[in-house]
Amino acid sequence: MAVHEFRDRRAAGRALAQALAAYADQADVRVLALPRGGVPVAFEVARALHAPLDVFVVRKLGVPGQEEYAMGAIATGQVQVLDDDVVRQLGIGEAAIARVAEAERAELQRREQCYRSGRPALDVDGCKVLLVDDGLATGSTMRAAVRALRLLQPARVVVCSPVASVQAEALLRGEADEVTCLLTPPHFHAVGAWYTDFSQTTDEEVMQLLDRAHGPA
């Protein structure tokens, strides 16, 4: 059993912010969180670095009948990333992929509208973007986020996470300009194994943190 390294997501975010201190107080730095679990982590990062915070919505594409097993992901900007090995090994057809993607796209759009409360998305053109999640197991969701983000032409994409599997970190080093992970344990188990409190982040908590981030200093 893995040893818990972080009390909760907010504590992990404060620790992660220390590793990202070089990005503090820079006008062209933006912090984007992968909801929902990435938002409490990113809130602490953005607060410590004095950087604006927004969400970047990504949805996992689960294998039909085994929804927790990712066969890919979709992200803002009509980006879809598939794990070709999983699709081939399980013989998943295009029609099945399309059905899952359609359902997840509807949820992606709902979350974008819900979380922003009418606020426009942050402009990241020419900026250094810190893309934050609470942990990286396979890396497929974050890979979709990186590819979608590239379409918005940021100057630099930095993947940030308190914990990642060795495989996910290696995958993302081939996608992002930089990867910052506090822990890359050889025996990963699961993201939640590295937190004492890994209770589900709710839509309400996401909206509260984003409202606080956009409120008066």
Q: What percent of the chain stands above pLDDT 70?
A: 98
Overall average pLDDT of the 78-104 stretch: 91
In the chain, what are the domain boundaries?
Answer: 9-57+122-214
CA-CA distances (angstroms) from residue 45 to 33, 53, 197? 10, 9, 19
C-alpha–C-alpha distance, residues 203 and 195, integer Å: 20
| 132-172 pLDDT tens trace | 999 999 888 898 899 889 988 999 999 999 999 999 999 99
**Residue 217's pLDDT band (boundaries 50, 70, 90)?**
very low
- Supply the pLDDT for residue 3: 60
Ranking 65-74, 100-109, 200-209 by mean pLDDT, the lowest is 65-74
Give pTM, 2 decimals: 0.87
C-alpha–C-alpha distance, residues 106 and 104, integer Å: 5
- Indicate the fold that domain 9-57+122-214 takes in CATH: Rossmann fold (3.40.50)
